[in-house]
Amino acid sequence: MKPLCLSFYGLNSFKEEQTIDFASLCNGRVFGIFGPTGSGKSTIIDAITLALYGKVERAPDKVRGIVNRNMTEAGVSFEFSLGGENKARVYRVERKYVTKEESTLCRLARLCEITSQGVEVIADKPNQVDQRVEQILGLTVHDFTRAVVLPQGKFAEFLSLKGRERREMLERIFNLSEYGERLLARVTVRAKELDTQLMKIEGEQQGLGQASKDDLLALQGMVEASDRALTKAMAELAAGLEHWEEAKTVYELQEKSRQVNVKRQAMSLARPYITDLEARLGRLLAAESIWPLAAEFDASDRKKNESIERSSATGMALAVASEREKVAAEGLETAKAMRQSEEPLLLALQQDLKRAMLIAEELRGLESLRSFEQEATRHSEILHSGLQAQLEGLLAREQQAQADRRLLAHELLGTAISPEERSMLAQAVQAESRLLEVRRQLHERFAEEKTRHSSLEKAMSTLTQAEQNVVVLEHEHHVAKDYLDLVRAQEVEEMPPIHLERLNRCRLILQDARFKETQAQRLLLNLDNLRQKQSAEEKQLTLWQDQLARVQERVVSLRSLVTETDRQAKEARESCLVAELASQVAPGEKCPVCGSRQHPELAARYIPADVENFVAAASEAHALLQKSLAEEGRVASSAFSCFEGLKDLGVQMAVLAAEIKSMEDEVTRLCSSLPSIWAGIAAEEVDKKINQEEKTHETAREGRRMWLENMERAQKTERQVADKLSKAKAAHAVAEQHTANQKGELQNLTVKLQALGNEEIIASAALDERLRELDCVDLEKQRELMQTKDRKQKALSDTLKQLEDKLAALHSMRQDNEKALAQAQEDLMARRMKLGELLARIELSTRDLAQLAGNEDPFSRAQMTEATLQSLREREKGSQDSWATATKEVNLAMSEDASAKEAERLVVEAAVRAEEKFAESLQGSVFTSREDLEDARVYLAHRALWAEEVRVHGEQETLLGHEANSLCAALAGRAISDENWARTNEDYDNLQLARDEALRQTTLAGEKLRDMQARHERFMLLEQERTMLDQEHALVTEICWLLRGNALVEFMAGEHLQAVTTTATEWLRMLSSQRYALEVDPEGGFLIRDDAEGGLRRPVHTLSGGETFITSLALALSLSLQIQLRGQFPLEFFFLDEGFGTLDPELLETVMDCLERMPGQGLSIGIISHVQELVERLPRKIIVTPAEHSGRGSRVKITL
């Protein structure tokens, strides 16, 4: 990091903004920051810290204490670069603060990166700026302060400390406590976590039961044997299935053949009934063939009547239309004559009115233009008058301003002050400010001296208390170590885990046996349920069989009923036909049957209603038979389903019985695997004995756990007491060092008080001399008098300048007004001429309009003329349309009348032809009259039903014949008895049971294998995890042992000390021309090796003053560099505030020689001092001028 530019104001004694160009100062050289005590030299460093981190550690309240109390605002801007010259990145950080009452608020905080493209804002809020600066630099505010400033009186502190005190200081600087208690606590927590995880894994492994590799291989053998048995059972079942399917096919074909024969016999019995239906359908077909001619005859007769009515209506419509046409022609002639007489006059009037409307429109535009010109002329007259009055007012104001300017110029001459008088007053004010500043510093030093005395007393009291604490804690530590040894001697042995593992295995076996017994009981319950279900199914099968027998009996009786009703219906139809034939035979005519002319016993006429009753009874018998046949099939199907269900229940019961037997065998095997001492004992007693063993094991484990807790508490107490003792010793060392520092600071303060007293005497004499030169006693009144004259002179000058500006403005305004007045005069004349011409045009147009339209409005009259003309034309057009419409209606009526008469003629002829066709069809048919034809069509609604019955009967006969032939061919002479079929079913069922048992055994074995494989896999994973955790636990235990007693912290402190010493040796070699080097002795102290004396080593207290300075400086630079290593970029500068005023000339020369040789390392060194010899020696410097009392603040001046 390299500073480039710093600007600030309003901080401590600074008021005005000050800018320091570090780019010129920090060019690899030594530069100085000089000024009197209290002038604000350290404020420059505070400004850099405030800009970067937003606070100053040494200031009260971090920010408010550094803001000037006489200012309400403060600000700082700091530019710096990071990286090498080729890759340097430039940043600027800005902050501004405002003071309100007792608080200080940050009004602006901004971090920017300056690139070749411009300025890029990175953060613009205080917290964001703080975080980004720490990220960019990699240093906190404490690290930055320690690394940038090497403070007064701290050079030799690190060099003179004892070994242990130096290590403790390194622990604080590098935060090594992270590797002490906190690291030990984290490692201890991790060790406990590992113990818990190991116990959990071991418990889970014990809970997995038998999951070894041998158990897995044995179970795999059982699975393979089950698979072989299943394969054998499947092969036997396949062979038995082929034989069973062959027997089943033959048996089913025999049953189907029997059923087909029964159905064919039933069809033969129904054949007479079907023959009668076919005859009836023939008569209906004949009636349907004649009926369309009868319907055609009826339709022709209706059309003839309708045609006659329509012809009469069209004749009347023709007469009405002719009358309308005559009236419309007369109206048309009247409208045409009226239009021809009035239209020429109206058209001539329209032309005149159009000219009048044009003139009227022109007059309206001229009237509007006249109003506008009159208003414009009036405005021009008003503007001309206003400009004339404004010009007169401007002339008066200009004369008054010239008079005022002459009076102010005369008054200004009496307020002038000479430069000599002003210089003497400034010197007097500066002398007074210096005297007040010295007295303020003297007052602060007296207060500080009092505070130092009080702090020294408190430090000595703290040192005494720290010594007492060390003694008490050493005793407590001894007691804690004795208690730890006592607890360690009372160690309780840990029970071997194998015993608990055996108990867990026995418990698992017992749980498995109980589970198997529960499963067997559940299967027994299922078997009982199946038996109950089988009994219920058998009862249901008996019911279905009884119902089937009843339905079959009803089918037989219904078949007889159908035969009887069909016979009765046929006899009734025949009797009806005979009676009808008898009614047609007249006495003396031949009988159409026997040819006899004598008819002694004619059959009585049969009533058709009785025939219908017989037919309805036959149809109902047929419907009942079909319903009963359907019910027979449904009941037979239900009985067969019930029979199949009974077979399935038998198979399920056999499978459950085999599973129950297997469960009982498994329970016997599990009980036999328990220890022999528990053989023959009930499961509840075995469970009690396992619980007793577990309680014994748990008691032993609880004793072990309590001992471990006591051991841990004792170790924790010992560590806590040891840590307290270590902290107490560190506090004692700090208190001892603090007491020594307080004494040294009190001595330095006494020297400063003496120097300030001398400065007060000199400043008081200088102020008296300046007052004598001014010949005044009260400097404040003299300064106020001079300030009053200055203020009055400034006020008069400002007023005179304002007056001159006012005169110039008035002159310019007067000239502009004169020009505007002349222009307004010209505009007024032009407006008046234009208005006269416009009035003449209006008068001429008014006379022309009166000649064309008279006093009437031409627009209204034109509208009335146009409306009249349009009305005449529309009336003629309406009459024309009415006549055309009437003519069309007459033509249409004549056409319709002719069409109606022609249609009437055609319809009458068609009716005659239809009547003749119908009469001819009756003569060639079985029907004698139209009534006979209608009687035959009474049964038309039954035709579809009869035709369907005939068709179904024929198709069923054909299908049954084909089916009987197919079944006979399929049997091919094969046959099987019921006894053989039952035996074949039984053999096949036994093969299925054997297959199911083999499948069940294979499934159970597979499930056990999968379960054991999962447990085995989990066991191996747990074993692998346990091995890894054992290794980690061993390492963590070793780390815990290594971390006891802060051994790691002391080791790292020693490493840091060695690194600091190595870096310091490089600096020391450069500062001492390769003569001296630093080394660390075994006890942690420093030794100086003098290579000029053959490598002679001697203690650091034997060094001279100059040697001590360069050695301490090398160590301070090394510490600063180590702190900088925390950041991302090195700091290329630092400030040295060593208090050079206390050095003698020879030592001062040695120090400067060393510092001037250092910048070759790329460092810029800023020396903060007020020693005059350094001011004269260093060419590059910043001179800080103190603030003036009640005047301007401190100022900086850069000299290169």
Cβ-based burial of 302 (10 A; exposed 0-12, middle 13-18, buried ≥19): exposed
Find the mean pLDDT for residues 778-796.
73
Residue 1184 banded pLDDT, cuts 50, 70, 90? very high
For the segment 116-137, the average pLDDT, to the nearest whole number, is 89
Order of strands, edge to edge, in the sheet holding 89-100? 18-21, 2-9, 73-82, 89-100, 103-115, 118-123
**32 and 1167 Cβ atoms separated by less than 8 Å:** yes
Average pLDDT rounded to a whole number, residues 803-825: 80
- Position 1141 confidence tier, pLDDT thresholds 50, 70, 90: low
Of 136-140, 583-587, 829-833, the poorest mean pLDDT is in: 583-587
**What are the distances in angstroms from CA 231 to CA 222, 225, 277, 999, 1005?**
14, 10, 65, 9, 15
> What pLDDT is attached to residue 97?
92
pLDDT of residue 995: 77
- Please name the residue that has the structure tokens 């008898």: 582
H or E segment to which residue 705 belongs: helix 683-774
* Per-residue pLDDT at 13 exceeds 80: yes
Report the pLDDT averaged over residues 62-70: 82
| C-alpha distances in Å from residue 238, one per residue of 83, 359, 977, 989, 1071 | 90, 123, 23, 12, 107
Is the distance from CB of 1097 to CB of 1088 less than 8 angstroms? Answer: yes
Q: What angle do CA 843, 849, 850 make, to 5 degrees?
A: 95
What pLDDT score does 498 carry?
44
Burial of 245 (0-12, 13-18, 19+ CB in 10 A): exposed
pLDDT value of residue 161: 64
**Residue 826 CB: number of other CB atoms within 10 A?**
10
Task: Indicate whether 809 pLDDT > 50.
Answer: yes
Summarize pLDDT for 31-48 with one digit per residue, the tens: 889 888 888 888 998 899
**pLDDT digits over 907-948, tens only?**
777 777 777 777 777 777 766 777 776 666 666 667 777 777
- Residues 1080-1088, mean pLDDT to the nearest whole number: 79
> Strand order of the sheet with strand 1076-1080?
1076-1080, 1086-1090, 1096-1099
858 closest CA partner among 369, 345, 367, 361: 361
For residue range 402-412, list pLDDT tens digits in order: 787 777 777 76
Residue 900 in this model has a pLDDT that exceeds 50: yes
Give the list of residues 6+ apart from residue 483 with CB closer than 8 angstroms, or none.
Answer: 714, 717, 718
Residue 790 neighbours by CB under 8 Å, 6+ apart: 417
* pLDDT over 90 at 357, yes or no: no
Query: What tokens appear for 1131 in the block?
Result: 């700091």
- Give percent of the chain above pLDDT 90: 5
Number of Cβ atoms within 10 Å of the Cβ of 289: 11
pLDDT at 922: 73
Confidence of residue 497 (pLDDT cuts 50, 70, 90): very low
Sign of CA dihedral 1138, 1143, 1146, 1149: positive
Residue corresponding to tokens 């339905």: 551
Model pLDDT, residue 564: 81
CATH topology of domain 1-138+1128-1200: Rossmann fold (3.40.50)
Judged against a pLDDT cut of 80, whether residue 684 lies above it is answered with no
Whole-angstrom distance, CA of residue 494 vs CA of residue 706:
12
List pLDDT tens digits, range 262-295. Answer: 777 767 766 777 777 777 777 777 777 777 777 7
Indicate the helix (H) or strand (E) that contains 739: helix 683-774
Mean pLDDT of the chain: 77
Q: In 10 A of CB 1027, how many CB atoms?
A: 10
**Domain ranges in the chain?**
1-138+1128-1200
Q: What is the pLDDT of residues 313-352, one digit of tens each?
A: 777 877 777 777 778 777 778 877 777 777 777 777 777 7
In angstroms, the CA 1117 to CA 1109 distance is 12
Q: Average of pLDDT values for 754-776?
A: 77
pLDDT at 682: 59
- Neighbour-count burial of 454, counting CB atoms closer than 10 A to its CB (0-12 exposed, 13-18 middle, 19+ buried): exposed
More confident residue, 836 or 34: 34
pLDDT tier for residue 191 given thresholds of 50, 70 and 90: confident
The residue type of 223 is: V
Q: What span, in angstroms and rounded, lies between the C-alpha atoms of 1194 and 598?
A: 173
Packing angle of the helix pair 1145-1157, 1047-1071 (nearest 10 deg): 100
Q: Tens of pLDDT along 553-593?
A: 777 777 787 788 877 777 777 677 666 666 666 666 666 65
Q: Taking 50 as the threshold, does the pLDDT of residue 152 lie above it?
A: no
Q: State residue 598's pLDDT score.
A: 61
Q: What's residue 1162's pLDDT?
A: 64
Longest CA span, the chain:
196
Of residues 610 and 452, the one with the higher pLDDT is 452
The answer on pLDDT for 209 being more than 80 is no
Average pLDDT of the residues in 1152-1174: 74
Closest C-alpha among 961, 960, 982 to residue 251: 982
Helix (H, G, I), strand (E, B) or coil at 1166: strand
The predicted structure's pLDDT at residue 153: 47
**pLDDT at position 51:** 93
Helix (H, G, I), strand (E, B), or coil: what is residue 290? helix
